[in-house]
Structure 1
Amino acid sequence: MFKLWATIVKDIRILTRDKVGIALMFGMPIALVLIITSIQNNTFELVNKNKVALLVCNRDTGKISKEFIASVNKIAMFKMQFIPKGESDKAITEQMHNTDAPLAIVIPSDFSAKINAQAQSVSGKALNTFGLDGGKTDSSANNTLPLNLYYKPALQDQFRRSVQGALYSALQLVESKQILRNMYFSINEKQLPAKLENELLNNKIAINETPVSKNGSRNIPNASQHNVPAWTIFAMFFVVISLAGSLVREKLSGSFIRLKTLPTNYFVALLSKQITYLAVTMLQAAVIFAIGIWLFPAMGLPVLNLPADVLGLVIVSLICGWCAVSYAICIGVFAQTQEQANGFGAISIVMLAAIGGLMVPSFAMPESFQVVMKLSPLHWCLEAYYGLFLEGGGLKDVLVNIIPLLGITIIFQAVAIAGLKMKKLI
């Protein structure tokens, strides 16, 4: 026991001398979790709370175009800025470049006339179908001039499609209003009452949204719940920079050979490194979780809510940390130089994070990556954390993720020991 304690003290001293390694293990993950959570939270607020600047050039003077603009405004998605109707398309695009507006729509001059003609055609066909006199229908009325939507290329395709859907909804609403008015007037020879129009068009079916959680909770996960666990795992695996480099230095300095001449076993040194760096990974988790709990609210970010099963969180963190340490030892055993250990270790962690779902959600990955994704230990770490943080589960609910993670960890340990024996270092 004294030998193990002495070795742990030695490893702690070596670790404290590695200022660059400590900075990478703590400074970089903290910066990442702060920056990426802020960006993602701003994206959520852009979609849910903030309004997108939208330039509107209405070249039409009819009533329907005004109703369309009012419908778009009711969506509460846009901050509308109006442009004089005499402006050219080129001037509109130039104004987009000179402002922060990523979107602009141009309503053509005969918009109201075309929409009214199309509504009369549709209502006439409907009345003729019912056996009533709907008059002659004009098939060319369907050739309504489209709205021109201008957007900056930097706008994400998914968000642009959301904008298109919102505009289509507003356009469909004004078309439906006009069809109802025409049909009512054709039947009753008087205008459709405003009250009846509102009842017919605003009778929407409510959609109840409920997040699915294992504990029955209805708390909606926020950007902190998504990002803090992910970048905690990233921080844990970045101990490869310090631990693998330490192993390489010991090999090159002849420490392994000297240990063989002493009345001790190298497994004691190996166990010492695992205990020391496992404590480092737990400290990383504690620091990043503390930032999410106390610093995030002061920065205007959503607070990190810890899962109800705190013991499960500790056990999952320990297993994730042990897997990270085992991977670092495996890299350190086979690397020939410190540059190899640092370079391969850092690049491989980024790649494993990418295919493991830390950078791109697993459901958004192509089908060909679904099998490869399960080979990444970071994937199982992330799923275990998400089971606790996002789904409100406990330890028993994430066993399906912990067991594969333990299997990968044992493989790393076995490969490291086999590599030490192959190199005749133990």
Structure 2
Amino acid sequence: MYKLWASIKKDGRILLRDKVGLALMFLMPIILAIIIASVQNSTFELVNDKKVPLLVMSRDTGEAARELIASLEKGGMFTLKKLPAAATEADIKKKMEDKEALLAIVIPPQYTQDVLAKAERVSGEALKTIAIADSTAADSTKIKASPLTLYYHPVLQKSFRQGIDGALSSVLQIVQSKYIVRALYSSINNEPNIPQSLEQQILSNETPVNQQAVSRDNSLPVPNATQHNIPAWTLFAMFFIVISLGSSLVREKTSGSFLRLKTMPTSLSVSIMSKQITYIIITMLQAAVIFSIGRWLFPVIGLPALNIPADKGGLLLVTFLCGWCATSFAICIGTFANTQEQSNGVGAISIVLFAAIGGLLVPAFAMPASFQGVMRVSPLYWCLEAFYGLFLEGGRLGDISKNLVPVLIIIAVLQLATWLGMKRKGLA
């Protein structure tokens, strides 16, 4: 036990001298977590809370155009900035280039006329079908409506533009439906105006939507950049100990430390065990620091606070296993690398690749079908799924056991590979 403790103290002193390694292990993930969480939080707020600025230029003074603008305002998704009808396309582009708005819509002068014409045609066809009107009541010729023009800034992603298109289509459909209902009512009752209450009953949605959470604890989580990013970048920090631990292992191999150990009344296993204990403690400290920053610092800088899972014991075990997996990976890299350059290069590149295919850089659900099998090779995928099971789904240890089993298997494989590598090089 004394030999193990002495070896742990030795590894601790070596680690404290490695200022670059400490910066990579603590400062880099903290900076990444703050920057990326801030960027993604703006996206979440844009989708969930904020209204999208929309430039509106109406070349139509008719009632349908006014109702369209009113419906856009009532929809709650847009903040309208009206432009004079005399504004030109160049004026719109100039305002969008100045980032006054990322979207602009131009209502053509024939919009009201087209809406009324379609309402008359549809109501006439409906009445003809039920034999209320005579055969001359409807003209079946399809009316070619003048299109609205939607300008968008190139920075808007396609998925966001599709959401905007869906919202605009809904508003256009509502306005058109109003005029169809009015035309039908007028034809059937020979009255020019439909009662407002009746129109609302016809057009309003009476079907309720009950939202049911699929989280383990039956809470209704709101998309939160902090809950997504803190676990992800904590894992990234854990696995980046490969830079420090891998280099340390290579230095001891090239300096002959392992060979000298064979002449002393101790064993290599004590040295390897001490490194694992030392760096597992480091990974636990990394998690504690980054979780604390997410919990207490993020609200100070305007970001959502990190919600710590209810199952604290499960969180502790998952953090320990993820740290052990990261340490095993770093020792395996250091065992097979012949130089510090090899250890640093292969270690850093492999971690970035594992992060890319494991769901840290690109969400797992967004991966193409061909990558669904490949990403399961990444240890970061299983570690991240375990963390997300606690942080996002509100699960407990039993709920994420299916993700921890692959982590344990990966640890065993890495430990075996390390032992075989040491034996092949005559160090074991």
Fold match by TM threshold 0.5: yes
Deviation (angstroms), 1:47:
1.0
- Contact map agreement 1:330 1:415 (CA 8 A) in 2: yes
Deviation (angstroms), 1:37:
1.3
AA paired with 2:368?
P
Deviation (angstroms), 1:369:
0.5
| Contiguous gaps of at least 5 residues in structure 1 | none
- Contact map agreement 2:382 2:407 (CA 8 A) in 1: yes
AA paired with 1:421?
K
Residue of structure 1 aligned with 2:318, choices 316, 319, 329: 316
- Give the percent of matched residue pairs that are identical in Structure 1 and Structure 2: 57
- Contact map agreement 1:58 1:108 (CA 8 A) in 2: yes
Deviation (angstroms), 1:78:
1.2
Q: Map 1:16-27 to 2 at 5 A.
A: 16-27=16-27
CA offsets 1:296-348 (integer angstroms, 9 cap, x no match): 12122211111111111101100000000000011111112112211211111
Deviation (angstroms), 1:150:
0.8
Distance (Å, rounded) in 2 between the aligned partners of 1:409 and 1:236: 14
- Residue matched to 1:289: 291
CA offsets 1:37-63 (integer angstroms, 9 cap, x no match): 111111111111111111111001100
- Residue matched to 1:257: 259
Distance (Å, rounded) in 1 between the aligned partners of 2:172 and 2:150: 13
AA paired with 1:325?
T
Matched position secondary structure for 2:55: strand
| Contiguous gaps of at least 5 residues in structure 2 | none
Residue 51 of structure 2 is aligned to residue 51 of structure 1: yes
Deviation (angstroms), 1:221:
5.2
Distance (Å, rounded) in 1 between the aligned partners of 2:252 and 2:411: 23
Change (3 A) 1:359 1:204: farther
Deviation (angstroms), 1:140:
4.3
AA paired with 1:169?
S
Deviation (angstroms), 1:141:
4.6
Residue of structure 1 aligned with 2:331, choices 321, 329, 333: 329
- Residue matched to 2:75: 75
- The number of residue pairs the alignment matches comes to 426
- Residue matched to 2:10: 10
- Residue matched to 2:84: 84
Deviation (angstroms), 1:15:
0.2
Q: Map 1:77-226 to 2 at 5 A.
A: 77-133=77-133, 135-190=136-191, 191-220=193-222, 222-226=224-228
Deviation (angstroms), 1:139:
4.0
- Residue matched to 2:390: 388
CA offsets 1:389-419 (integer angstroms, 9 cap, x no match): 1112111111101111100111011111111
Distance (Å, rounded) in 1 between the aligned partners of 2:218 and 2:80: 41
- Residue matched to 2:376: 374
Distance (Å, rounded) in 2 between the aligned partners of 1:352 and 1:82: 49
Matched position secondary structure for 1:80: strand
- Contact map agreement 2:262 2:268 (CA 8 A) in 1: yes
Distance (Å, rounded) in 1 between the aligned partners of 2:289 and 2:213: 28
Distance (Å, rounded) in 1 between the aligned partners of 2:168 and 2:313: 49
- Residue matched to 2:236: 234
- Residue matched to 1:423: 425
- Contact map agreement 2:128 2:138 (CA 8 A) in 1: no
AA paired with 1:9?
K
Distance (Å, rounded) in 2 between the aligned partners of 1:103 and 1:257: 68
Distance (Å, rounded) in 1 between the aligned partners of 2:163 and 2:416: 50
Distance (Å, rounded) in 2 between the aligned partners of 1:131 and 1:174: 27
Once structures 1 and 2 are overlaid, which stretch shifts more, 321-330 or 249-258?
A: 249-258
Matched position secondary structure for 1:353: helix
Deviation (angstroms), 1:87:
2.1
AA paired with 2:31?
A
Residue of structure 1 aligned with 2:345, choices 334, 343, 348: 343
- Residue matched to 1:404: 406
Q: Map 1:300-315 to 2 at 5 A.
A: 300-315=302-317
TM-score, normalised to structure 2's length?
A: 0.97
AA paired with 2:182?
R
Matched position secondary structure for 1:82: strand
What RMSD over aligned residues (CA atoms) do the two structures have, in Å? 1.3
AA paired with 2:146?
L
Deviation (angstroms), 1:98:
2.3
CA offsets 1:186-210 (integer angstroms, 9 cap, x no match): 1111111111111211234222222
CA offsets 1:44-97 (integer angstroms, 9 cap, x no match): 111111111111110011000110011111111111111121222233223211
Matched position secondary structure for 2:305: coil
AA paired with 1:120?
E
Matched position secondary structure for 2:92: helix
TM-score, normalised to structure 1's length?
A: 0.97
- Contact map agreement 1:211 1:220 (CA 8 A) in 2: no
